[in-house]
C-alpha cells in the first residue's frame, strides 16, 4: 500500500483514516466502521489511491454503505466511482461538482463528470446509521465555498475534512481567509470533541485549531501581490509541511494575471 491507515477504536465505532502519500498532499478518506457496515467519506484524487482505500475497506469484512463527498474539490471526489456505492453530498456541493465538469488527472487521464456526480442529496441534520448518530452540518466559506462537517457526538469525533489540515500546506484558492478563520473559531469553541479528522494529514486533537489559526494569520501577513514570493515566504515559515505544490495550484486562482 502506498498510503497509510490510522485506526482509532471508539467503542461501537472504529475509525480507519486512509491517508494518501505526499504526492497528493496526504489527502484522507475516512472509513467509519459501525457494527455492521462501513461509511466512506471522500474519495481521493487518484483512482489508484481510491482503490487502496476501497481494498482496505473491503478487508474489514463489512459492506460499504455509502460514500459521502464533503466538498467540490477533485482530490476528494475523483475516485468516487471506485467505491461502487451511492454518492451522497449537499445539494450545493453537487451543483459545484457538476459545474466543474470532467476532471483531468496529473497524468493527463480525464475522469468524466458522470463518474463522480453525487446521486443522493444529503440534508443537514442527524441521521442514525446502524445505530450510530451522524450529525451533518453545512458550512459556507473557507477552504471551499461549501463544505460538509460531520459530527459523531457519542464518539466525540469531529470529521472536519478540509476545514482542518494537519501539517500540510493550506489550499487558499477559494480566496476566503476570513471565512476560514471564522469556521475554525466556531469549531474551536465546541469542547465536545477530542478527535479531529483532517482532510489532509493524520487524525489529531483540538490543538490543530491553533495550528490552522496561525497558518491563516501568517498567510494574511505574507500573501501580498506576488505568488512566487508568497510561496517562498510561507514555505520558509513552514519548512516541514507537506505539499508545497498545493500552493502553486491555489496561486492559479489567487494570482491569475501571473499565470
8 Å CB contact between 167 and 242: yes
- Per-domain boundaries in the chain: 4-258
Q: DSSP letters along 34-72, please?
A: -SS-EEEE---SSHHHHHHHHHHHHTTTS-EEEEE--SS
pTM value is 0.95
Residue 249, judged by CB atoms within 10 A of its CB (0-12, 13-18, 19+), counts as middle
Q: DSSP letters along 99-140, please?
A: HH-SEE-TTSPEEPGGGT---EEE-SEEEEETTEEEEEEEEE
What is the end-to-end Cα distance of the chain in Å, rounded? Answer: 36
Residues in CB range of 237: below 8 A, 6 or more apart: 218, 222
Identify the CATH number of the domain defined by range 4-258: 3.60.15.10
What confidence score (pLDDT) does residue 107 get?
Answer: 84
Q: In angstroms, what CA-CA distances link 189 with 32, 61, 121, 166, 183?
A: 25, 38, 29, 19, 10
> Count of CB atoms within 10 A of residue 128's CB?
8
What confidence score (pLDDT) does residue 140 get?
Answer: 94
Please give the grid coordinates belonging to residue 43. 474519495
Q: 93-136 pLDDT, tens per residue? A: 999 999 999 999 888 889 999 999 999 999 999 999 999 999 99
| Residues linked to residue 96 through DSSP beta bridges, in sequence order | none
pLDDT band at 258 (very low <50, low <70, confident <90, very high): low
pLDDT band at 43 (very low <50, low <70, confident <90, very high): very high
Rounded Cα distance between 65 and 58, Å, is 11
Q: Which helix (H) or strand (E) holds 187?
A: helix 177-188
Please give the grid coordinates belonging to residue 83. 467505491
On the CB side of 119, CA atoms within 13 Å amount to 11
Question: Is residue 259 pLDDT above 70, yes or no?
Answer: no
Please give the grid coordinates belonging to residue 89. 453530498
Rounded Cα distance between 124 and 91, Å, is 10
Rounded Cα distance between 55 and 5, Å, is 12
Please give the grid coordinates belonging to residue 214. 496561525
> Count of CB atoms within 10 A of residue 202's CB?
15
- Highest mean pLDDT among 63-77, 103-117, 241-255 belongs to 63-77
Please give the grid coordinates belonging to residue 226. 506576488
Q: Which of 79, 8, 15 is nearest to 42 (CA)?
A: 79
Q: Which of 209, 169, 203, 167 is nearest to 18 (CA)?
A: 203
| Residues linked to residue 238 through DSSP beta bridges, in sequence order | none
Amino acid at each position: 500500500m502506498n498510503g497509510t491507515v490510522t485506526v482509532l477504536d471508539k467503542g461501537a465505532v472504529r475509525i480507519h483514516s486512509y491517508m494518501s502519500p505526499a504526492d497528493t498532499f496526504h489527502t484522507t478518506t475516512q472509513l467509519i466502521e459501525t457494527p455492521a457496515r462501513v461509511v466512506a467519506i471522500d474519495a481521493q484524487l487518484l483512482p489508484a489511491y481510491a482503490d487502496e482505500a476501497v481494498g482496505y475497506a473491503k478487508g474489514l469484512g463489512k459492506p460499504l454503505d455509502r460514500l459521502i463527498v464533503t466538498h467540490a474539490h477533485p482530490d476528494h471526489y475523483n475516485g468516487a466511482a471506485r467505491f461502487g456505492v451511492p454518492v451522497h453530498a449537499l445539494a450545493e456541493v453537487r451543483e459545484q461538482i457538476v459545474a466543474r465538469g470532467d476532471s483531468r488527472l496529473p497524468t493527463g487521464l480525464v475522469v468524466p463528470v458522470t463518474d463522480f456526480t453525487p446521486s443522493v442529496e444529503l440534508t443537514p441534520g442527524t441521521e442514525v446509521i446502524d445505530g450510530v448518530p451522524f450529525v451533518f452540518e453545512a458550512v459556507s466559506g473557507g477552504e471551499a465555498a461549501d463544505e460538509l462537517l460531520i459530527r459523531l457526538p457519542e464518539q466525540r469525533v469531529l470529521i472536519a475534512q478540509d476545514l482542518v489540515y494537519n501539517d500540510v500546506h493550506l489550499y487558499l484558492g477559494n480566496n476566503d481567509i476570513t471565512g476560514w478563520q471564522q469556521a475554525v473559531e466556531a469549531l474551536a469553541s465546541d469542547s465536545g470533541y477530542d478527535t479531529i479528522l483532517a482532510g489532509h494529514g493524520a487524525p489529531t486533537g483540538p490543538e490543530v485549531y491553533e495550528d490552522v489559526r496561525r497558518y491563516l494569520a501568517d498567510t494574511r501577513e505574507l500573501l501580498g501581490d506576488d505568488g512566487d514570493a508568497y510561496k517562498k515566504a510561507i514555505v520558509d515559515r513552514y519548512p516541514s509541511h507537506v505539499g508545497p505544490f498545493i500552493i502553486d495550484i491555489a496561486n492559479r486562482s489567487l494570482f491569475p494575471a501571473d499565470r
